[in-house]
Chain A
Amino acid sequence: MIEKRKSWMSLLATSDQNDLLNLWDQKKIKISYEWLRQPEIGSIMAQGKMGVTGDKFNIGEVTITRCSVKLDCGTIGHSYVQGRSKRKAEISAVCDALLQTKMSKEVNENIIIPLEKIKKDKRDKILSKAEATKVDFFTLVRGESD
Protein backbone atom coordinates (compact mmCIF):
# COMPACT_ATOMS: atom_id res chain seq x y z
CA MET A 1 0.00 0.00 0.00
CA ILE A 2 2.76 2.44 0.95
CA GLU A 3 4.64 1.68 -2.27
CA LYS A 4 1.50 2.33 -4.29
CA ARG A 5 0.76 5.52 -2.43
CA LYS A 6 4.33 6.75 -2.91
CA SER A 7 4.00 6.07 -6.58
CA TRP A 8 0.70 7.95 -7.13
CA MET A 9 1.78 10.87 -4.93
CA SER A 10 5.02 11.14 -6.91
CA LEU A 11 3.16 11.03 -10.19
CA LEU A 12 0.70 13.72 -9.10
CA ALA A 13 3.51 15.89 -7.72
CA THR A 14 5.57 15.86 -10.90
CA SER A 15 2.71 15.97 -13.40
CA ASP A 16 2.12 18.96 -15.63
CA GLN A 17 -0.59 21.04 -13.95
CA ASN A 18 -2.53 21.45 -17.19
CA ASP A 19 -2.57 17.70 -17.80
CA LEU A 20 -3.87 17.04 -14.30
CA LEU A 21 -6.45 19.84 -14.38
CA ASN A 22 -7.74 18.70 -17.78
CA LEU A 23 -8.18 15.10 -16.66
CA TRP A 24 -9.86 16.16 -13.43
CA ASP A 25 -12.24 18.58 -15.14
CA GLN A 26 -13.18 15.98 -17.76
CA LYS A 27 -14.03 13.41 -15.12
CA LYS A 28 -16.18 15.73 -12.99
CA ILE A 29 -15.83 13.67 -9.81
CA LYS A 30 -18.27 15.08 -7.26
CA ILE A 31 -16.82 14.87 -3.81
CA SER A 32 -17.02 17.04 -0.73
CA TYR A 33 -14.15 17.58 1.66
CA GLU A 34 -12.82 20.02 4.17
CA TRP A 35 -9.41 21.59 4.47
CA LEU A 36 -6.98 20.31 7.05
CA ARG A 37 -4.38 22.64 5.60
CA GLN A 38 -5.11 25.23 2.96
CA PRO A 39 -2.76 25.26 -0.05
CA GLU A 40 0.52 26.89 0.88
CA ILE A 41 3.28 27.88 -1.52
CA GLY A 42 6.85 27.40 -0.38
CA SER A 43 10.10 25.82 -1.42
CA ILE A 44 12.41 22.96 -0.74
CA MET A 45 16.19 23.09 -0.99
CA ALA A 46 17.49 20.55 -3.51
CA GLN A 47 20.68 18.80 -2.52
CA GLY A 48 23.34 17.16 -4.64
CA LYS A 49 26.45 15.15 -3.85
CA MET A 50 29.99 16.38 -4.41
CA GLY A 51 31.60 14.42 -7.21
CA VAL A 52 28.46 12.23 -7.57
CA THR A 53 29.11 10.07 -4.50
CA GLY A 54 30.56 12.43 -1.88
CA ASP A 55 29.07 14.63 0.81
CA LYS A 56 25.89 16.60 0.32
CA PHE A 57 25.69 20.23 -0.74
CA ASN A 58 22.83 22.60 -1.53
CA ILE A 59 22.11 23.34 -5.17
CA GLY A 60 19.13 25.69 -4.98
CA GLU A 61 15.44 25.80 -4.21
CA VAL A 62 12.41 24.48 -6.06
CA THR A 63 8.90 25.89 -5.66
CA ILE A 64 6.46 23.48 -4.00
CA THR A 65 2.80 23.79 -3.00
CA ARG A 66 1.28 21.62 -0.31
CA CYS A 67 -2.11 21.05 1.27
CA SER A 68 -4.18 18.45 3.15
CA VAL A 69 -7.85 17.57 2.87
CA LYS A 70 -10.30 15.37 4.74
CA LEU A 71 -13.15 13.64 2.92
CA ASP A 72 -16.57 13.31 4.55
CA CYS A 73 -15.80 9.64 5.24
CA GLY A 74 -12.79 10.76 7.29
CA THR A 75 -10.08 9.74 4.82
CA ILE A 76 -7.18 12.18 4.75
CA GLY A 77 -5.25 13.14 1.64
CA HIS A 78 -1.98 15.07 1.42
CA SER A 79 -0.14 16.68 -1.41
CA TYR A 80 3.30 18.17 -1.95
CA VAL A 81 3.47 19.16 -5.62
CA GLN A 82 5.97 20.95 -7.83
CA GLY A 83 5.17 24.54 -8.76
CA ARG A 84 2.85 27.19 -7.43
CA SER A 85 -0.55 25.93 -8.55
CA LYS A 86 -2.91 25.76 -5.57
CA ARG A 87 -5.47 24.00 -7.74
CA LYS A 88 -2.96 21.30 -8.65
CA ALA A 89 -2.15 20.81 -4.95
CA GLU A 90 -5.85 20.63 -4.09
CA ILE A 91 -6.73 18.08 -6.78
CA SER A 92 -3.65 16.03 -5.88
CA ALA A 93 -4.62 15.88 -2.20
CA VAL A 94 -8.22 14.93 -3.08
CA CYS A 95 -6.94 12.21 -5.44
CA ASP A 96 -4.60 10.96 -2.71
CA ALA A 97 -7.56 10.63 -0.36
CA LEU A 98 -9.89 9.05 -2.95
CA LEU A 99 -7.26 6.49 -3.94
CA GLN A 100 -7.45 5.16 -0.39
CA THR A 101 -11.22 4.68 -0.61
CA LYS A 102 -13.70 2.60 -2.59
CA MET A 103 -13.38 5.13 -5.39
CA SER A 104 -9.75 4.23 -6.00
CA LYS A 105 -10.54 2.23 -9.15
CA GLU A 106 -12.32 5.15 -10.76
CA VAL A 107 -9.58 7.66 -9.91
CA ASN A 108 -6.88 5.25 -10.95
CA GLU A 109 -8.46 4.62 -14.35
CA ASN A 110 -9.38 8.21 -15.09
CA ILE A 111 -6.51 10.16 -13.59
CA ILE A 112 -3.51 8.05 -12.62
CA ILE A 113 -3.23 5.74 -15.62
CA PRO A 114 -3.67 8.56 -18.18
CA LEU A 115 -1.09 10.68 -16.29
CA GLU A 116 1.33 7.77 -16.32
CA LYS A 117 0.87 7.42 -20.04
CA ILE A 118 1.48 11.15 -20.64
CA LYS A 119 4.63 10.97 -18.55
CA LYS A 120 5.90 7.86 -20.30
CA ASP A 121 5.22 9.32 -23.75
CA LYS A 122 7.09 12.52 -22.89
CA ARG A 123 10.05 10.57 -21.56
CA ASP A 124 10.11 8.14 -24.46
CA LYS A 125 10.12 11.04 -26.87
CA ILE A 126 13.14 12.60 -25.15
CA LEU A 127 15.02 9.31 -24.94
CA SER A 128 14.33 8.46 -28.59
CA LYS A 129 15.52 11.90 -29.73
CA ALA A 130 18.64 11.56 -27.56
CA GLU A 131 19.30 8.11 -28.99
CA ALA A 132 19.23 9.57 -32.51
CA THR A 133 22.14 11.84 -31.51
CA LYS A 134 24.30 8.94 -30.36
CA VAL A 135 27.70 9.28 -31.93
CA ASP A 136 30.53 6.92 -32.72
CA PHE A 137 33.81 8.77 -32.57
CA PHE A 138 36.82 7.12 -34.06
CA THR A 139 40.41 8.29 -33.87
CA LEU A 140 42.77 8.61 -36.80
CA VAL A 141 46.52 8.36 -36.43
CA ARG A 142 48.09 11.41 -38.02
CA GLY A 143 51.62 12.07 -39.24
CA GLU A 144 54.20 9.59 -40.40
CA SER A 145 54.45 6.23 -38.75
CA ASP A 146 57.77 4.54 -38.08
Chain B
Amino acid sequence: MYVAVKGGEKAIDNAHSWMSEIRRGDPSVPNVSLNQITEQLTLGVDRVMSEGSLYDKDLAALAIKQSRGDLIEAIFLLRAYRTTLKRFSYSKPIDTANMLCLRRISATFKDIPGGQKLGPTFDYTHRLLDFKLLAENETPLSPTQQFENKKVPHVLSFLNQEDLMQKEKDNNLDPIDITREPISFPTSRAARLQALSRGDEGFLLGLAYSTQRGYARNHAFVGELRIGIVEIELNIPELGFDINVAEIILTECETVNQFQGSKIEPPQFTRGYGLVFGQTERKALAMALIDRALRWKELGEDYSGAPAQDEEFVISHCDNIQATGFLEHIKLPHYVDFQSELELIRKIRADAKRNVKRL
Protein backbone atom coordinates (compact mmCIF):
# COMPACT_ATOMS: atom_id res chain seq x y z
CA MET B 1 0.00 0.00 0.00
CA TYR B 2 1.28 3.45 -0.83
CA VAL B 3 0.25 6.32 1.39
CA ALA B 4 1.00 9.76 0.02
CA VAL B 5 2.68 12.40 2.10
CA LYS B 6 1.48 15.97 1.81
CA GLY B 7 3.01 19.29 2.73
CA GLY B 8 6.52 20.66 2.58
CA GLU B 9 5.89 22.79 -0.51
CA LYS B 10 7.51 25.89 0.91
CA ALA B 11 10.60 24.01 2.07
CA ILE B 12 10.88 22.34 -1.36
CA ASP B 13 10.60 25.67 -3.20
CA ASN B 14 13.20 27.26 -0.97
CA ALA B 15 15.53 24.27 -1.34
CA HIS B 16 15.31 24.46 -5.13
CA SER B 17 15.83 28.19 -5.06
CA TRP B 18 18.97 27.76 -2.95
CA MET B 19 20.15 24.99 -5.26
CA SER B 20 19.82 27.41 -8.24
CA GLU B 21 21.79 30.06 -6.38
CA ILE B 22 24.55 27.61 -5.50
CA ARG B 23 24.58 26.31 -9.07
CA ARG B 24 25.39 29.81 -10.25
CA GLY B 25 28.22 30.01 -7.71
CA ASP B 26 30.07 33.21 -6.89
CA PRO B 27 28.38 35.93 -9.03
CA SER B 28 31.72 37.68 -9.48
CA VAL B 29 32.90 34.64 -11.48
CA PRO B 30 31.65 34.68 -15.12
CA ASN B 31 28.68 32.42 -15.89
CA VAL B 32 29.66 29.29 -17.84
CA SER B 33 28.16 29.31 -21.35
CA LEU B 34 26.86 26.27 -23.24
CA ASN B 35 29.45 26.93 -25.93
CA GLN B 36 32.19 26.66 -23.35
CA ILE B 37 30.81 23.30 -22.24
CA THR B 38 30.41 21.88 -25.76
CA GLU B 39 33.84 23.15 -26.80
CA GLN B 40 35.89 22.51 -23.67
CA LEU B 41 34.19 19.71 -21.74
CA THR B 42 33.65 17.65 -24.89
CA LEU B 43 34.13 14.23 -23.36
CA GLY B 44 31.62 14.97 -20.61
CA VAL B 45 29.15 16.06 -23.29
CA ASP B 46 29.86 12.85 -25.22
CA ARG B 47 29.24 10.69 -22.17
CA VAL B 48 25.94 12.42 -21.48
CA MET B 49 24.84 11.97 -25.12
CA SER B 50 25.78 8.28 -25.19
CA GLU B 51 24.20 7.30 -21.89
CA GLY B 52 21.34 9.74 -22.38
CA SER B 53 20.91 7.92 -25.71
CA LEU B 54 20.31 11.15 -27.59
CA TYR B 55 22.86 12.80 -29.85
CA ASP B 56 22.44 16.53 -29.33
CA LYS B 57 25.47 18.46 -28.05
CA ASP B 58 23.59 21.60 -27.02
CA LEU B 59 21.05 19.68 -24.97
CA ALA B 60 23.78 17.61 -23.32
CA ALA B 61 25.67 20.81 -22.43
CA LEU B 62 22.51 22.35 -21.01
CA ALA B 63 21.92 19.21 -18.95
CA ILE B 64 25.48 19.33 -17.61
CA LYS B 65 25.08 22.97 -16.62
CA GLN B 66 21.69 22.39 -15.04
CA SER B 67 22.95 19.38 -13.08
CA ARG B 68 25.98 21.26 -11.73
CA GLY B 69 28.26 18.75 -13.46
CA ASP B 70 26.57 15.67 -11.97
CA LEU B 71 26.69 13.58 -15.14
CA ILE B 72 24.17 10.95 -14.05
CA GLU B 73 21.70 13.73 -13.22
CA ALA B 74 22.47 15.25 -16.66
CA ILE B 75 21.89 11.89 -18.35
CA PHE B 76 18.57 11.64 -16.49
CA LEU B 77 17.52 15.06 -17.84
CA LEU B 78 18.41 14.08 -21.40
CA ARG B 79 16.59 10.76 -21.14
CA ALA B 80 13.50 12.53 -19.82
CA TYR B 81 13.61 15.01 -22.70
CA ARG B 82 14.13 12.17 -25.19
CA THR B 83 10.81 10.62 -24.24
CA THR B 84 8.99 13.80 -25.33
CA LEU B 85 10.34 13.64 -28.90
CA LYS B 86 8.32 12.27 -31.74
CA ARG B 87 10.22 9.40 -33.36
CA PHE B 88 10.27 10.01 -37.12
CA SER B 89 11.86 6.71 -38.10
CA TYR B 90 14.90 4.46 -38.02
CA SER B 91 18.08 5.27 -39.91
CA LYS B 92 19.77 3.02 -42.43
CA PRO B 93 22.52 1.04 -40.69
CA ILE B 94 25.66 3.17 -40.41
CA ASP B 95 28.60 1.84 -42.40
CA THR B 96 31.62 2.49 -40.18
CA ALA B 97 33.98 1.59 -43.05
CA ASN B 98 33.13 5.07 -44.36
CA MET B 99 34.19 6.71 -41.10
CA LEU B 100 36.38 9.79 -41.33
CA CYS B 101 38.85 8.69 -38.67
CA LEU B 102 40.26 11.09 -36.09
CA ARG B 103 41.86 8.16 -34.37
CA ARG B 104 42.43 4.61 -35.47
CA ILE B 105 44.67 2.13 -33.72
CA SER B 106 45.24 -1.59 -33.61
CA ALA B 107 46.95 -3.52 -30.85
CA THR B 108 47.17 -6.67 -32.97
CA PHE B 109 48.97 -5.51 -36.11
CA LYS B 110 51.46 -2.70 -36.26
CA ASP B 111 51.40 -2.21 -40.00
CA ILE B 112 47.89 -1.72 -41.23
CA PRO B 113 46.63 -0.26 -44.48
CA GLY B 114 45.65 3.33 -43.78
CA GLY B 115 48.08 3.45 -40.86
CA GLN B 116 47.69 3.90 -37.16
CA LYS B 117 46.64 7.37 -36.11
CA LEU B 118 46.72 8.29 -32.47
CA GLY B 119 44.35 11.23 -32.76
CA PRO B 120 43.61 13.54 -29.84
CA THR B 121 44.40 11.04 -27.07
CA PHE B 122 45.39 10.96 -23.40
CA ASP B 123 47.40 7.80 -24.11
CA TYR B 124 51.15 8.21 -23.60
CA THR B 125 50.69 11.33 -21.48
CA HIS B 126 52.36 11.17 -18.08
CA ARG B 127 49.21 11.94 -16.12
CA LEU B 128 50.93 14.83 -14.42
CA LEU B 129 48.88 17.90 -13.65
CA ASP B 130 49.66 20.52 -16.25
CA PHE B 131 50.05 23.81 -14.42
CA LYS B 132 50.37 25.63 -17.71
CA LEU B 133 46.58 25.28 -18.02
CA LEU B 134 46.23 27.58 -15.03
CA ALA B 135 47.29 30.41 -17.28
CA GLU B 136 44.27 31.51 -19.26
CA ASN B 137 44.04 32.28 -22.98
CA GLU B 138 46.21 29.42 -24.12
CA THR B 139 45.35 28.46 -27.70
CA PRO B 140 47.69 25.66 -28.70
CA LEU B 141 47.90 24.77 -32.38
CA SER B 142 48.81 21.27 -33.47
CA PRO B 143 50.71 20.31 -36.60
CA THR B 144 49.07 19.18 -39.83
CA GLN B 145 50.25 16.81 -42.51
CA GLN B 146 49.34 16.12 -46.13
CA PHE B 147 46.89 13.26 -46.39
CA GLU B 148 45.19 11.05 -48.90
CA ASN B 149 41.43 10.93 -48.55
CA LYS B 150 40.91 7.20 -48.84
CA LYS B 151 38.43 4.82 -47.29
CA VAL B 152 39.98 3.13 -44.25
CA PRO B 153 39.24 -0.61 -44.28
CA HIS B 154 38.67 -2.44 -41.00
CA VAL B 155 41.75 -4.26 -39.73
CA LEU B 156 39.84 -7.42 -38.90
CA SER B 157 38.49 -7.70 -42.43
CA PHE B 158 41.97 -8.96 -43.36
CA LEU B 159 41.56 -11.87 -40.96
CA ASN B 160 38.14 -12.44 -42.48
CA GLN B 161 39.77 -13.08 -45.83
CA GLU B 162 41.72 -16.01 -44.40
CA ASP B 163 38.61 -17.21 -42.61
CA LEU B 164 40.49 -16.86 -39.33
CA MET B 165 37.84 -14.54 -37.97
CA GLN B 166 34.24 -15.51 -37.42
CA LYS B 167 32.13 -13.74 -40.02
CA GLU B 168 29.34 -11.51 -38.81
CA LYS B 169 26.45 -12.21 -41.13
CA ASP B 170 23.63 -9.86 -41.92
CA ASN B 171 20.42 -11.89 -41.84
CA ASN B 172 18.40 -8.77 -42.50
CA LEU B 173 16.54 -9.06 -39.22
CA ASP B 174 14.85 -6.08 -37.65
CA PRO B 175 16.30 -5.59 -34.20
CA ILE B 176 14.23 -5.17 -31.06
CA ASP B 177 14.18 -1.59 -29.83
CA ILE B 178 14.44 -1.53 -26.04
CA THR B 179 12.96 1.97 -25.91
CA ARG B 180 9.75 0.51 -27.32
CA GLU B 181 9.57 -3.04 -25.99
CA PRO B 182 10.58 -4.19 -22.53
CA ILE B 183 13.46 -6.66 -22.50
CA SER B 184 12.63 -10.22 -21.58
CA PHE B 185 15.24 -12.88 -20.93
CA PRO B 186 16.85 -14.67 -22.65
CA THR B 187 17.25 -11.76 -25.02
CA SER B 188 18.96 -11.10 -28.36
CA ARG B 189 22.42 -9.74 -29.03
CA ALA B 190 20.79 -6.72 -30.68
CA ALA B 191 18.94 -5.86 -27.47
CA ARG B 192 22.10 -6.38 -25.43
CA LEU B 193 24.17 -4.11 -27.68
CA GLN B 194 21.57 -1.36 -27.49
CA ALA B 195 21.46 -1.62 -23.70
CA LEU B 196 25.25 -1.67 -23.44
CA SER B 197 25.70 1.27 -25.79
CA ARG B 198 23.67 3.44 -23.43
CA GLY B 199 24.78 1.63 -20.26
CA ASP B 200 26.71 3.19 -17.42
CA GLU B 201 30.40 3.59 -18.19
CA GLY B 202 31.46 2.83 -14.62
CA PHE B 203 29.38 -0.34 -14.39
CA LEU B 204 30.60 -1.61 -17.77
CA LEU B 205 34.19 -0.75 -16.90
CA GLY B 206 34.01 -2.76 -13.68
CA LEU B 207 32.43 -5.75 -15.38
CA ALA B 208 34.86 -5.68 -18.30
CA TYR B 209 37.71 -5.54 -15.81
CA SER B 210 36.28 -8.58 -14.03
CA THR B 211 36.53 -10.59 -17.28
CA GLN B 212 40.18 -9.60 -17.59
CA ARG B 213 40.83 -10.77 -14.03
CA GLY B 214 39.42 -14.21 -14.79
CA TYR B 215 35.65 -14.02 -14.16
CA ALA B 216 34.68 -15.47 -17.56
CA ARG B 217 37.93 -16.05 -19.32
CA ASN B 218 38.04 -14.23 -22.60
CA HIS B 219 41.44 -12.76 -23.24
CA ALA B 220 40.82 -9.89 -25.61
CA PHE B 221 43.11 -8.08 -28.01
CA VAL B 222 42.05 -4.75 -29.41
CA GLY B 223 41.82 -5.59 -33.09
CA GLU B 224 40.83 -2.06 -33.87
CA LEU B 225 39.64 1.06 -32.18
CA ARG B 226 38.43 3.90 -34.35
CA ILE B 227 36.88 7.24 -33.57
CA GLY B 228 35.54 9.52 -36.24
CA ILE B 229 32.76 11.19 -38.14
CA VAL B 230 30.03 9.15 -39.80
CA GLU B 231 26.99 10.24 -41.73
CA ILE B 232 23.56 8.86 -40.98
CA GLU B 233 21.35 7.99 -43.92
CA LEU B 234 17.61 8.22 -43.65
CA ASN B 235 14.91 7.28 -46.11
CA ILE B 236 12.68 10.29 -46.74
CA PRO B 237 9.18 8.90 -47.20
CA GLU B 238 7.89 12.01 -49.01
CA LEU B 239 10.57 11.59 -51.66
CA GLY B 240 11.30 7.90 -51.75
CA PHE B 241 15.08 8.29 -51.57
CA ASP B 242 17.78 8.44 -48.89
CA ILE B 243 19.66 11.50 -47.72
CA ASN B 244 22.37 12.02 -45.13
CA VAL B 245 20.39 13.56 -42.38
CA ALA B 246 23.02 13.86 -39.66
CA GLU B 247 26.73 13.78 -39.01
CA ILE B 248 27.90 12.37 -35.69
CA ILE B 249 31.02 11.12 -33.97
CA LEU B 250 31.14 7.44 -33.06
CA THR B 251 33.65 5.28 -31.26
CA GLU B 252 33.92 1.71 -32.47
CA CYS B 253 35.91 -1.11 -30.91
CA GLU B 254 36.42 -4.62 -32.18
CA THR B 255 38.20 -7.09 -29.96
CA VAL B 256 39.72 -10.37 -31.09
CA ASN B 257 39.15 -13.33 -28.82
CA GLN B 258 40.09 -16.96 -29.11
CA PHE B 259 37.50 -19.56 -29.84
CA GLN B 260 38.08 -23.27 -29.49
CA GLY B 261 35.76 -24.22 -32.29
CA SER B 262 32.73 -26.43 -32.09
CA LYS B 263 31.32 -29.50 -33.83
CA ILE B 264 30.36 -27.45 -36.84
CA GLU B 265 33.00 -24.74 -36.81
CA PRO B 266 36.81 -24.94 -36.90
CA PRO B 267 38.82 -22.97 -34.33
CA GLN B 268 38.89 -19.31 -35.24
CA PHE B 269 38.87 -15.89 -33.68
CA THR B 270 35.66 -14.28 -32.56
CA ARG B 271 34.71 -10.70 -32.02
CA GLY B 272 33.50 -8.53 -29.21
CA TYR B 273 31.87 -5.38 -30.49
CA GLY B 274 31.44 -1.92 -29.05
CA LEU B 275 29.82 1.07 -30.77
CA VAL B 276 29.06 4.21 -28.81
CA PHE B 277 28.07 7.84 -29.48
CA GLY B 278 30.86 10.41 -29.19
CA GLN B 279 34.50 10.05 -28.29
CA THR B 280 34.01 7.40 -25.63
CA GLU B 281 36.74 4.82 -25.99
CA ARG B 282 36.86 3.44 -22.44
CA LYS B 283 33.16 2.69 -22.76
CA ALA B 284 33.39 1.20 -26.28
CA LEU B 285 36.24 -1.06 -25.18
CA ALA B 286 34.35 -2.22 -22.09
CA MET B 287 31.25 -2.79 -24.20
CA ALA B 288 33.22 -5.02 -26.59
CA LEU B 289 34.59 -7.16 -23.75
CA ILE B 290 31.16 -7.60 -22.22
CA ASP B 291 29.51 -8.31 -25.57
CA ARG B 292 32.02 -11.13 -26.06
CA ALA B 293 31.53 -12.53 -22.55
CA LEU B 294 27.75 -12.57 -23.07
CA ARG B 295 28.09 -14.57 -26.29
CA TRP B 296 29.13 -17.76 -24.45
CA LYS B 297 25.88 -19.59 -25.18
CA GLU B 298 25.84 -18.80 -28.90
CA LEU B 299 29.48 -19.96 -29.18
CA GLY B 300 28.89 -23.12 -27.13
CA GLU B 301 31.25 -22.12 -24.33
CA ASP B 302 30.99 -23.06 -20.65
CA TYR B 303 29.03 -20.91 -18.26
CA SER B 304 31.39 -20.33 -15.38
CA GLY B 305 28.87 -18.42 -13.29
CA ALA B 306 30.74 -15.14 -13.76
CA PRO B 307 28.65 -11.97 -13.49
CA ALA B 308 29.78 -10.79 -16.95
CA GLN B 309 28.29 -13.95 -18.52
CA ASP B 310 24.90 -13.48 -16.90
CA GLU B 311 22.91 -11.40 -19.37
CA GLU B 312 20.03 -10.86 -17.00
CA PHE B 313 22.41 -9.55 -14.35
CA VAL B 314 24.37 -7.34 -16.78
CA ILE B 315 21.51 -5.91 -18.80
CA SER B 316 19.16 -5.36 -15.86
CA HIS B 317 21.78 -3.41 -13.94
CA CYS B 318 23.77 -1.50 -16.55
CA ASP B 319 21.28 1.33 -16.97
CA ASN B 320 22.26 4.08 -14.57
CA ILE B 321 18.93 5.88 -14.83
CA GLN B 322 16.94 2.82 -13.80
CA ALA B 323 19.52 2.13 -11.12
CA THR B 324 19.67 5.62 -9.68
CA GLY B 325 15.91 6.02 -9.84
CA PHE B 326 15.37 2.96 -7.71
CA LEU B 327 18.33 3.57 -5.45
CA GLU B 328 17.55 7.21 -4.76
CA HIS B 329 13.82 6.78 -4.24
CA ILE B 330 14.54 5.26 -0.84
CA LYS B 331 15.54 8.77 0.32
CA LEU B 332 11.97 9.93 -0.15
CA PRO B 333 9.41 9.68 2.66
CA HIS B 334 8.57 6.09 3.56
CA TYR B 335 7.01 6.99 6.89
CA VAL B 336 4.00 4.72 6.66
CA ASP B 337 5.99 1.71 5.42
CA PHE B 338 8.45 2.23 8.20
CA GLN B 339 5.69 2.71 10.79
CA SER B 340 4.40 -0.78 10.00
CA GLU B 341 7.92 -2.22 10.31
CA LEU B 342 8.25 -0.46 13.62
CA GLU B 343 5.01 -1.88 14.94
CA LEU B 344 5.96 -5.35 13.76
CA ILE B 345 9.33 -5.34 15.49
CA ARG B 346 7.75 -3.99 18.72
CA LYS B 347 5.19 -6.78 18.63
CA ILE B 348 7.81 -9.47 18.02
CA ARG B 349 9.95 -8.14 20.85
CA ALA B 350 7.00 -7.99 23.21
CA ASP B 351 6.10 -11.59 22.34
CA ALA B 352 9.68 -12.70 22.83
CA LYS B 353 9.81 -10.98 26.23
CA ARG B 354 6.60 -12.68 27.34
CA ASN B 355 8.00 -16.07 26.27
CA VAL B 356 11.20 -15.47 28.24
CA LYS B 357 9.19 -14.61 31.38
CA ARG B 358 7.18 -17.79 30.98
CA LEU B 359 10.37 -19.85 30.99
Chain A interface residues toward B at CB < 8 A: 2, 5-6, 9-10, 13-14, 40-64, 66, 68, 78, 80-84, 123, 125-135, 137-139
Contacts and interface: CB of A to CB of B under 8 A. Distances in A.
Contacts of A63: 54-56, 59, 85
A125 B68 CA distance: 33
B119 A47 contact: no
Contacts of B59: 63, 84
A56 B147 contact: no
B67 interface: no
Contacts of A13: 243-246
Interface of B: 49-50, 53-56, 58-59, 82, 85-97, 100-104, 110, 115-121, 142-147, 149, 154, 156-157, 167-175, 177-179, 189-191, 193-194, 197-198, 229, 231-232, 234, 236, 238-239, 241-248, 250, 252, 254, 271, 273, 275-277
A44 B101 contact: no
Contacts of A60: 49-50, 53-55, 197-198, 277
Nearest to A135: B116
B190 A9 contact: no
A46 B232 contact: yes
Contacts of B116: 134-135, 137
Given A64-B234, A134-B145, 4 more contacts: A43-B87, A52-B96, A58-B178, A61-B82
A50 B90 contact: no
A65 to B, nearest CB: 10
A2 B117 CA distance: 37
Nearest to B54: A61
Given A64-B245, A131-B144, A56 B174 contact: yes
A132 B171 CA distance: 40
A127 B100 CA distance: 8
A88 B245 CA distance: 13
B168 A54 contact: yes
A129 B142 contact: yes
A53 B170 contact: yes
11 contacts: A48-B250, A54-B170, A55-B170, A60-B50, A62-B91, A62-B248, A80-B234, A83-B56, A83-B58, A130-B101, A133-B103
Contact of A128 (B97, B145, B193): B145
A6 B197 contact: no
Given A46-B232, A59-B277, A78-B239, A138 B110 contact: yes
Contacts of B236: 9, 78, 80
A139 B177 contact: no
Contacts of B93: 47-49, 56
A134 B144 CA distance: 11
Nearest to B244: A10
Contact of B194 (A57, A62, A130): A57
B239 A46 contact: no
A49 B172 CA distance: 10
